[in-house]
């Protein structure tokens, strides 16, 4: 489990409050831990699920889904008639994710797409209730520009890792990922089309509503 930007005892306390997950999510968490797969984990999973419930979201486009952990949190929130688009550039991830979707009983609400997530989003003709960004961080500014036009009015743009282990507060960040996240956060707060907020949970989650 990745450590967040809150202090270790606070982090421990937040995790201690969580009810146990079902066997599928629990198995995915163990697997992610064992293989170092950077999933959002249950603290953020619950936020994603809650956002979808609050918005009565029925359509979610996810950029960067790995083994499908966050996808399942979305899929359970959108309900029987909802649709979540899973995207990942790695076919092996997608095959593994399909197995988990079957086991979790949500395969029929998830469309699995393999390829460049940004390209796949740009091909979409419809708008979405929620677009969730969790691809390579260098892609965040481009994902931002693409996502805005594909969100319905009142829809949410959600992004993980926007505090990047606290590196966003470095005086002179040199690495490309930190720079891209700083640019993404700037775009978010300067956009006349969005009303954003950053939740400093785990590695920071941005939530922006389209006006």
Q: Which of 24, 40, 106, 188 binds ligand SAM (CB under 6 A)?
A: 40
Q: Which of the ranges 89-97, 162-170, 187-195, 201-209 carries the binding residues for ligand SAM, by CB under 6 A?
A: 89-97
Q: Which of 5, 58, 116, 199 binds ligand SAM (CB under 6 A)?
A: 116
Determine the residue with CB nearest ligand SAM: 64
If one asks whether residue 38 binds ligand SAM (CB under 6 A), the answer comes out as: yes
CB 76 within 8 A of CB 106: yes
Three-class DSSP category at 205: strand
Q: Report the distance separating Cα 162 and Cα 185, nearest Å.
A: 7
If one asks whether residue 43 binds ligand SAM (CB under 6 A), the answer comes out as: no
If one asks whether residue 69 binds ligand SAM (CB under 6 A), the answer comes out as: yes
* Interacting residues of 103 by C-beta distance below 8 A, sequence separation 6+: 24
Binding mask 130-159 for ligand SAM (x = CB under 6 A): ----xxx--x--------------------
CB 135 within 8 A of CB 118: yes
Phi, psi values for residue 28, rounded to 5°: -65, -40
If one asks whether residue 31 binds ligand SAM (CB under 6 A), the answer comes out as: no
Q: Report the distance separating Cα 115 and Cα 117, nearest Å.
A: 6
Sheet architecture: strand order including 128-133: 110-114, 83-88, 59-63, 128-133, 151-160, 205-210, 194-199
What single DSSP character describes residue 208?
A: E
Choose between 11 and 160: whose C-beta lies nearer to ligand SAM. 160
If one asks whether residue 180 binds ligand SAM (CB under 6 A), the answer comes out as: no
Closest distance to ligand SAM from the beta carbon of 72 (Å): 8
In the complex, the residues that contact ligand SAM under the rule CB under 6 A are 38-40, 64-66, 69-70, 87-90, 93, 116-118, 134-136, 139
């Amino acid at each position: 489990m990745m450590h967040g930007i809150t202090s270790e005892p606070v982090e421990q306390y937040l995790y201690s409050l969580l009810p146990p997950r079902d066997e599928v999510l629990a198995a995915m968490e163990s697997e992610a831990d064992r293989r170092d797969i950077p999933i959002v984990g249950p603290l953020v999973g619950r936020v994603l699920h809650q956002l979808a419930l609050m918005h009565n979201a029925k359509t979610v486009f996810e950029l960067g889904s790995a083994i499908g952990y966050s996808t399942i949190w979305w899929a359970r929130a959108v309900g029987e008639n909802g649709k979540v688009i899973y995207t990942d550039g790695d076919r092996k991830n997608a095959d593994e994710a399909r197995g988990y979707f079957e086991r979790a009983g949500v395969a029929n609400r998830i469309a699995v797409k393999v390829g460049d997530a940004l390209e796949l989003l740009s091909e979409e003709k419809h708008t979405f209730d929620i677009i969730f960004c969790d691809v390579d961080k260098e892609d965040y500014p481009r994902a931002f520009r693409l996502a805005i036009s594909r969100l319905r009015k009142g829809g949410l743009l959600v992004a993980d890792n926007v505090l990047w282990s606290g590196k966003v507060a470095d005086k002179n960040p040199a690495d490309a990922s930190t720079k891209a996240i700083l640019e993404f956060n700037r775009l978010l707060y300067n956009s006349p089309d969005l009303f954003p907020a950053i939740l400093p949970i785990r590695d920071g989650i941005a939530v922006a509503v389209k006006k």
